[in-house]
């Protein structure tokens, strides 16, 4: 599973990208979200915006409201704490998966 997540990202991103075009790490997290969604949720989770912001008291969080809007469509957010990105990639992915479970 982790090998598949680490493969290069294609050009298609489901959720809108509110980041700069050179933000490869964020796009890799979007790719991981898609792979995990297919593998564990049969692809039923809606697109979300993944952010990386300071979150000193948590590894991540999920917003239960549409925190982002683009073209009249609302998107919820999964935030991964910036302070924790130095952990092993497996731990970052497990935090992402945890937030996906919370959203389900």
**Greatest Cα-to-Cα distance within the chain, rounded to the nearest angstrom:** 37
Q: Is the pLDDT of residue 20 over 60?
A: no
Give the pair of three-digit tokens for residue 18. Answer: 């509110």
Name 68's bridge partners.
Answer: 75
What CATH number did the domain enclosing 51 receive? 3.30.2010
Residue 14 lies in a domain: no
Name 62's bridge partners.
Answer: 78
Residue 30 lies in a domain: yes
Residue 85 lies in a domain: yes
User: Both ends of the chain: CA-CA distance in Å?
Assistant: 20
Question: Within 10 A of 93 (CB to CB), how many other CB atoms are there?
Answer: 20
Residue 16 lies in a domain: no
Instruction: Provide the pLDDT confidence category of residue 25 given band limits of 50, 70 and 90.
Output: low
Predicted confidence at residue 44, as pLDDT, reads 95
SS3 content of the chain, % helix, strand, coil (to 5): 40, 20, 40
Which whole number is the average pLDDT over 77-89?
89
Residue 83 lies in a domain: yes
Q: Is the pLDDT of residue 38 over 50?
A: yes
Residue 13 lies in a domain: no
Q: How many domains does the chain have?
A: 1
Residue 40 lies in a domain: yes
Residue 48 lies in a domain: yes
Domain span at residue 73?
2-6+23-103
């Amino acid at each position: 599973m982790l090998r598949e997540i680490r493969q290069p990202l294609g050009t298609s991103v489901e959720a809108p990208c509110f980041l700069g075009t050179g933000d490869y790490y964020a796009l890799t997290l979007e790719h991981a979200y898609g792979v995990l969604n297919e593998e564990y949720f049969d692809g039923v989770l809606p697109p979300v915006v993944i952010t990386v912001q300071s979150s000193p008291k948590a590894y991540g969080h999920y917003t239960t409201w549409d925190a982002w809007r683009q073209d009249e469509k609302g998107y919820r957010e999964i935030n991964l704490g910036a302070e924790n990105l130095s952990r092993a990639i497996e731990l970052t992915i497990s935090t992402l998966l945890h937030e996906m479970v919370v959203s389900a």
